[in-house]
A and B are shown apart, each in its own frame.
Chain A
Amino acid sequence: MVEKIVVVTNRLGLHARAAAQLVSAANRYQSLVRIERLDKSAAADAKSILSVLMLAASRGTELKLTADGTDENEAINALNGLFAEGFGELSP
C-alpha cells in the first residue's frame, strides 16, 4: 500500500467537474484507491463520484490518498498529478 498527502489547490475545490476527472482517472486502475480528509472527518472511495463529492473538499483542504493493489504506484502518481496541476484549471 502506498500513500500521499495532497492539498486541493483549485479555487472551487473538488466540485463536479474536478471530481469527475478524479474518478475517471481512478477507474483506470485495478488498485483500491481511497481518499481521506486529514482532519479525519470523512473518507471516500476514489472510484465513486458521490462519495468523492461528500468529502466537501474545498480549496485548501488537505487529503491523504492511499492506493492498494498491483498498480498502486501508477494510480497514486496519476491522482497526485491531477491535484498538482489543479485539475487543469490553472494551466493554459
Chain B
Amino acid sequence: VSKRARKGAGEQTWRGLGVSDGIVIGQVLRLHNGTCQVFRATIKEEDIERETHRLHAAVRLATRQLLAIKARAETELGADHAYIFDAHLLMLEDRKLLEDTEAFIRAERANAEWAVRVVADRFLAVYAEIKDEYLRERGSDIEDVTQRLLMALGGAERQDTSILTENAVIVAENLLPSAVAELDFEHARAIATDAGGWTSHTAIIARSLGIPAVVGVRQLHRRVRTGDLIIVDATRGDVILHPAHDTIEKYKVAAASSMETSSIVTEHDVAKLITLDEREIVLRANIELTAEYEGIKRFGARGIGLYRSEFLLSRHGSIPGEEDQFEAYKRIAELGGEDGATIRLFDLGGEKIGPRLTDHEQNPALGLRAIRFSLKNEDVLRHQIRAILRASAFGRLDIVLPMIMDLDDVRRSRKIIGAESALLESENIATGRVRIGAMIEVPSAVQLARTIAAEVDFFSLGTNDLVQYMLAVDRSNDDVADWFQTLHPSVLQSIYQVLTAANAAGIPSIICGEMAGTPAYAVMLLGLGATELSMTSSSIPRVRQVISGISHRDAHDIAMKCLQCGTAGEVEQIVRDEYLARWPQLFSTKSLPVIRHKT
C-alpha cells in the first residue's frame, strides 16, 4: 500500500496506514531490528577458542539487556506483556542453542555470527513445519532472540533509546515486542514502520500512549538515517523524508493546530466541560494497559469510566489470584481519584479462556461469555468481587456487570456480591460503598431497560457490542463490514430508549465504546441524551473541543430527526448536511461519516 513520489530536491513522500493520529516533525532514530546482515567468515584453527568466548560474552550481554527490558516491561506495560521475556531469557540460556552453535563454530571453523544464524535457521525451519498455527507463530520469538544475540555479537550495543532527542521519530522495519518495551515513551514523538497493521503490537501501544504512528510504509527503513529530518502525518498516513522548507512551514501550521486538539491539557481543560447552552458533560477514560495510566491525567479524564478487567489475564488465559487482583484494583482506585473508577467484571469467554470451560463453541459471541461465564464459574466471580470490594477501601470503585440479559443476571450477581460483602464484614475487612451497574449491550436488555433500571445503580452502554448484537453483524468479519452500521437508526433508537429509561428511574448512564471517542458520533450521543462518555484517553481532547463548541439543543434537534430515519444512509445524510451547516468551524467533510448508500 505504499506510494512514493519525488518532489523538489530530495523530498520523498510515502503513504502508509495511519494507526494513531497526529502530526510530528522530528528527527529519525533508526532502529535496526529484524535485519542483521550476517556474513560467513572462515576462522583460523587457533582462533576457535576466541570465537566461542565471543559467543558466550554476547549471550551474557544479551541476557543483561533482556533482564532490564523485562523489569521495565513489568512496570510500564504490565505483567501480561512481560512474561514473554521469561521465555526469551530461557532461550538464551538454552543448552541446545549454545551447544549446537559452539559445535558449528568448531566443525565449520565459522565465525560466531554465521553459526548463530545457521543454527537459529534450523530451529526456524522445524518451526515453520508445525501444523498448529499458534505454535508456529512462536517462531517470531526465536527470531527476536536471534537478532538480539547477533546485535550483541556485533559489539554494537542495542541503541540506547533513553538518550533520545526531544522530537525523535522511531523508524524500524518492524518493532518486535522487546523493542517496543524498550522505547522511551517520554521522548519518542512518533513511530513509522515498514511492516504492521491496525492491530499490530506497535499500533496498539502507540494508540494507548497517544503517539502518532504510521505502519506499512514499505522500504522506508532502508532509506533513512538517524538524524534525518522527517515528518509523520498519521492523520493522512503520510511520511515525508527530507522535507523541503515550504513543506516544513506548511506542516508546522498543521502540527500546531493538531497540538491544540490532541496534546497535553492546559488548566482550562480540566475545568468543567459544558456545551454552549451550559449542559455539563463528563468525559472519562477507558483503560486496559498499565501504559495507559499516565494518559488519564495527561488528557484530563474525569476518572476511569471503564476498566476492562480481563486485561489482567495473561495473553494465554491464566486468571490472577485474589491478591494480585486486589493490588491491581487498588491502583485503579487510586488512579480514579475523587472521580472514581468503574471496573467491568471479566468479559471472558470464547477466545480468551482455557479449554475445558468453553469447549468449541459454535457461536462464541452468543455463548458462555461475560457475566454468564462468571456465574457458571462462581469461584472466579467470588475472587474478583472480594478483590474489588477490598480495594474499594482505598478509593471510589464501582462494578459494572457485562452482557446483562435481564433481571435474573442482575439479581444472581447482586446476591453473590452481597454475600461476599457480608463475609468481608464478618472478617472485619474494610470496604467502601460500591455501586453496581448493568452493561447494556444485548437487545433484550434494551427492551427491558425500564425494569433493569429499577434494580441497578447505573447503566453503562457498550456501543461496540450493541451494534453487533442489534444488527446481528459480526464486527470482525470483513465480508459483512458493509452491514456494520454504527449510525443505524435501530442502534440510535436503542440508545435513546436506554438513556430515557435511566433518566426516568433517576440513575446515571455512561456510554463506553468507540462511538464515544469519535467527535461526530459523540455529538449524536449528546443529542440522544447522554451526559457521560468514556473513551481511550487520547481521544478526550478532540471530543472535548467539539463538545465545547456546540449547543445541546442543536444536537438534540438533529438526533430527533435521525430517530425518524429508516436506514443508516439517511442518518448519515442528515448528519453531514446538518453538522456542516451548523458547525462549519468544527467539522469538515473529512471528519464526517461517508454515506454508504445514496438515498
A90 touches B95 (CB 8 A): no
Q: A50-B123, A54-B123, A92-B380 are in contact. Are A24 and B90 (CB under 8 A)?
A: yes
A89 at the interface (CB under 8 A from B): yes
The complex places the Cα of A61 from the Cα of B132 at a distance, in Å, of 11
The complex places the Cα of A22 from the Cα of B318 at a distance, in Å, of 15
- Write out the residue numbers on chain B whose beta carbons fall within 8 Å of the beta carbon of A10: 316-317, 354-355
Apart from A9-B356, A56-B132, A90-B317, what are 4 other A-B pairs with CB-CB below 8 Å? Answer: A56-B135, A90-B356, A90-B357, A92-B379
- Write out the residue numbers on chain B whose beta carbons fall within 8 Å of the beta carbon of A9: 354-356
Which residues of A in the span 39-92 have a Cβ within 8 Å of any Cβ on B? 45, 47-51, 53-54, 56, 58-59, 86-92
B318: min CB distance to chain A, Å? 4
The complex places the Cα of A24 from the Cα of B86 at a distance, in Å, of 9
B332: min CB distance to chain A, Å? 19
- Write out the residue numbers on chain A whose beta carbons fall within 8 Å of the beta carbon of B319: 91-92
Q: What per-residue 1/0 map shows which CB atoms of B295-327 lie under 8 Å from chain A?
A: 000000000000000000011111101000000
A86 touches B95 (CB 8 A): no
> How many residues on A have C-beta within 8 angstroms of the other chain's C-beta atoms?
32
The complex places the Cα of A20 from the Cα of B315 at a distance, in Å, of 14
Residues on B lying within 8 angstroms of A by beta carbon are 83-84, 86-87, 90-91, 94-97, 123, 126-127, 130-132, 134-135, 138, 141-142, 314-319, 321, 353-357, 377, 379-380, 383
B90 touches A23 (CB 8 A): yes
A15 touches B316 (CB 8 A): yes
B135 touches A45 (CB 8 A): no
Of A12, A49, A89, the residue contacting B90 (CB under 8 A) is: A49
Q: What per-residue 1/0 map shows which CB atoms of A11-35 lie under 8 Å from chain B?
A: 1111111111001100000000000
- Write out the residue numbers on chain B whose beta carbons fall within 8 Å of the beta carbon of A50: 91, 94, 96-97, 123, 142
Of A16, A23, A54, A86, the residue contacting B126 (CB under 8 A) is: A54
B141 touches A16 (CB 8 A): yes
A86 touches B86 (CB 8 A): no
The complex places the Cα of A6 from the Cα of B319 at a distance, in Å, of 23
- Write out the residue numbers on chain A whose beta carbons fall within 8 Å of the beta carbon of B126: 54
Instruction: Give the secondary structure class of B's interface.
Output: helix
The complex places the Cα of A49 from the Cα of B145 at a distance, in Å, of 13
Chain A residue, CB-CB nearest to B357: A90
Q: A13-B135, A48-B94 are in contact. Are A86 and B355 (CB under 8 A)?
A: yes
- Write out the residue numbers on chain A whose beta carbons fall within 8 Å of the beta carbon of B135: 12-15, 53, 56, 58
A16 touches B138 (CB 8 A): yes
- Write out the residue numbers on chain A whose beta carbons fall within 8 Å of the beta carbon of B86: 17, 20, 24
The 6 closest A-B pairs by CB, nearest first: A16-B87, A58-B132, A49-B90, A11-B355, A56-B130, A20-B87
B357 touches A12 (CB 8 A): no
The complex places the Cα of A23 from the Cα of B91 at a distance, in Å, of 10
The complex places the Cα of A17 from the Cα of B315 at a distance, in Å, of 9
A49 touches B91 (CB 8 A): yes
The complex places the Cα of A54 from the Cα of B554 at a distance, in Å, of 63
A89 touches B138 (CB 8 A): no
The complex places the Cα of A23 from the Cα of B87 at a distance, in Å, of 9
Q: A54-B127, A56-B130, A56-B131 are in contact. Are A49 and B317 (CB under 8 A)?
A: no
B87 touches A48 (CB 8 A): no
A92 touches B383 (CB 8 A): yes
A39: min CB distance to chain B, Å? 13
A47 touches B95 (CB 8 A): yes
- Write out the residue numbers on chain A whose beta carbons fall within 8 Å of the beta carbon of B96: 45, 48, 50-51
Chain B residue, CB-CB nearest to A51: B96
B354 touches A11 (CB 8 A): yes
A22: min CB distance to chain B, Å? 10
- Write out the residue numbers on chain B whose beta carbons fall within 8 Å of the beta carbon of A48: 94-97
Q: A54-B123, A54-B127 are in contact. Are A49 and B94 (CB under 8 A)?
A: yes
B87 touches A49 (CB 8 A): yes
- Write out the residue numbers on chain B whose beta carbons fall within 8 Å of the beta carbon of A89: 316-318, 354
